[in-house]
Amino acid sequence: MPAPLPSERAFIPFVSVENMMRLVHHVGIETMLVELTDAIEADFRRWELFDKTPRVASHSHDGVIELMPTSDGAVYSFKYVNGHPKNMAQGLQTVTALGLLAEVSTGYPVLLTEMTLLTALRTAATSAMAARHLAPQKARCLALIGNGAQAEFQALAMKAVLGIEEVRLYDIDPRATQKTVRNLARTRLRLVPCTSAQAAIEGADIITTCTADKQYATILTDNMVGAGVHINAIGGDCPGKTELHRDILLRSDTFVEYPPQTRIEGEIQQMDPDYSVTELWQVVSGRAQGRSSDRQITLFDSVGFAIEDFSALRYVREKLAGTDYFQKLDIIADPDDPRDLFGMLLRAA
């Protein structure tokens, strides 16, 4: 007698890279960035409901492998993600990721998905959310220092959410800048390739640094940064990796996701333990002030936090309803009698 088929409960939706790309194009890239920005902001407004812990990191000479868990009490999520800057020399991605959602009430997974693309989208959406609260009003010019895999997502998120019109581009590898110009050619953004970081930030309202090398770097020096700009620093995201000269931080009002994690991994790892920061969720929820003057330098020291991944996973699960942009995976054992797991195995012979 054949073994009974698993119940529907045993199957969970799995979103492959191919289906994630289909979903993004179905929604529209800029529409998805706007909706992700709103989804992340909604969860930042209920920040206090979430479990919060610095990500669990396994560092090696070549990079880092991390787990990023959180829960709002009803749904649990985690992301597996790596960061290996040397991978590019082998034709590999420097960052890859996958993520999972589960019901807290049963512990059963309800979504498994690729998160390499989704992390790029949610990182850009988080940047745009922060800039919505911290950047100068009517910001129209973005400088992108570092034109790798994240660059186009950052540019489109700032365009879709803030109305950015001009993007000034610089990378130490001119081919990266050429790639970014080519990919953004049809977006109606005014694209200005530059030959130095100094040239790129001239006239910029927002400066985004997104370089990949795992080292203490000085992408921006103090004399390069004028009054009134918003800096979106997303490249420094692990111990021993920074992008800004510490004197810039002394002149800036700095906003972070989760201080215990950012003090280890962010730009502020260069500073004394009592260096003052404001948690971004407090600004989003109206408990703290963001930009307070036209000459203020605001800095979003972004290292990425698990609640942003939770928001992205929750958003994708909602968007899958009524579509075929997923597969059903049979990865949960489902014996007729929950106590008889061995019997289920025997009947499969």
Q: Radius of gyration (Cα) for the chain, nearest Å?
A: 21
What is the percent of the chain where pLDDT is above 70? 95
315 and 332 belong to one structural domain? yes
CB atoms within 10 A of CB 108: 12
Number of domains in the chain: 2
Q: Structural domain of residue 69, as residue ranges? A: 8-117+307-341
Dihedral of alpha carbons 8, 9, 11, 12, sign = positive
158 and 225 belong to one structural domain? yes
Residue among 43, 171, 205, 237 flagged as catalytic: 237
Q: What CATH number should be reported for the domain holding residue 85?
A: 3.30.1780.10
187 and 277 belong to one structural domain? yes
Kindly tell me the burial class for residue 344, based on how many C-beta atoms sit within 10 Å of its own C-beta (0-12, 13-18, 19 or more).
middle
Tens digit of each residue's pLDDT, the chain (349 residues): 333 444 566 789 999 999 999 999 999 999 999 999 999 999 999 999 999 999 998 989 888 899 999 999 999 999 999 988 889 889 998 889 999 999 999 999 999 999 999 999 999 999 999 999 999 999 999 999 999 999 999 999 999 999 999 999 999 999 999 999 999 999 999 999 999 999 999 999 999 998 866 566 778 888 999 999 999 999 866 778 788 999 999 999 999 999 999 999 899 999 999 999 999 999 999 999 999 999 999 999 999 999 999 999 999 999 999 999 999 999 999 898 999 999 999 999 8
172 and 85 belong to one structural domain? no
Please report whether residue 123 resides in a domain: no
Report the alpha-carbon distance of residue 258 to residue 284 in Å, rounded: 14
What confidence tens digit (pLDDT) does each residue in 86-135 have?
A: 898 899 988 899 999 999 999 999 999 999 999 999 999 999 999 999 99
Q: What is the pLDDT of residue 215?
A: 62
- Concerning whether 237 is annotated as a catalytic residue, the answer is yes
